[in-house]
Amino acid sequence: MPRTADPVKRAELLKQVIEYLQEHGVADMSLAPMAAALGTSKRMLLYYFGDRGELLAQALNASRPDVSGMFDDIGTEAEFVAAAQSLWRAITRGAQRRTVGLMLQVLSLAITDPDTYQPYADQAVTLMLDPITRALEGLGYRKPEARVRASLIVSGLRGLCQDGLVTGDSARINAAANLVIAAAVTT
C-alpha cells in the first residue's frame, strides 16, 4: 500500500521551492539542482509534486494573492477601488511582492516557449481577471465591458509591477497605479 504524503512536510517543501524559484528564477528550473539546494532528493520532489510542471503550477498557485477573496462582495465603486488598492499593496509591498517576479517570468517565457509555459501564463491571468470581472459586473457593467475594465486593472498593475522592479521609482509607480485603478471604474 502506497504511503500518504505528509501534508506538513509537503507544505514546508513547497515554501522552500517558492523561495528557491524567487532566488534562481523559473527559466532554467531543474529538479536535481533544486533538490540538492533544498537538502532533499529529486525523487522526493517528484513524490510530493508529481512532475516539474506540477511543481511549478503549485508554486505559482501558492504564491499569488487571493484575488477572489479581495473582490468578493463588492457593492460600490469605492469598495472596488479599495479592493484594487489592496491588491496593489499585496503585490508591491505585501507577502506577494517577491513572487510577482515569478509570475512575470512565466508570462515572458510563455512568449518564447508556449508549449511549456502558456498553460501557467493563462492560469495566472485568468485567476486575476475572473474575480475582478465578476466584481465589475456586480457594479452594473455588462460582461464584455467588465472584462475590458478588468484587463485594464490586471495588465496595468502587472506592467507597473515590472516597471517598479526595474526602476525602483515607487512614487511614480504608485501614482500611476492609482490612475489605472480609478480609470477602471470611471465612466
Q: What is the pLDDT of residue 13?
A: 92
Return contacts of 10-14, CB within 8 angstroms, 24+ apart: 10/48, 13/38, 13/40, 13/44, 13/45, 13/48, 14/48, 14/49, 14/58, 14/59, 14/62
In what helix (H) or strand (E) does residue 30 lie, and over which residues does it extend? Answer: none
Q: Would you call 152 exposed, middle or buried from its count of C-beta atoms within 10 A (0-12, 13-18, 19+)?
A: middle
How many angstroms separate the CA atoms of 69 and 61, rounded? 14
**Strand locations in 5-100, DSSP E?**
none
Q: Retrieve residue 160's grid coordinates.
A: 507597473
Contacts of 125 (CB under 8 A, 6+ apart): 107, 154
Q: Which domains does the chain have, with CATH numbers?
A: 7-61 (1.10.10), 65-184 (no CATH)
In a structure prediction context, what are the per-residue pLDDT tens digits for the chain, which is 187 residues long? 456 668 888 899 999 998 898 888 888 888 999 999 999 999 999 999 888 888 888 888 887 777 888 999 999 999 999 999 999 998 888 666 667 888 888 889 889 989 888 988 898 899 899 999 999 999 999 999 999 999 999 999 999 999 998 999 999 999 999 999 999 998 7
How many angstroms separate the CA atoms of 157 and 83, rounded? 13
Q: What is the pLDDT of residue 117?
A: 85
Q: Retrieve residue 172's grid coordinates.
A: 511614480
State the pTM of this model.
0.81
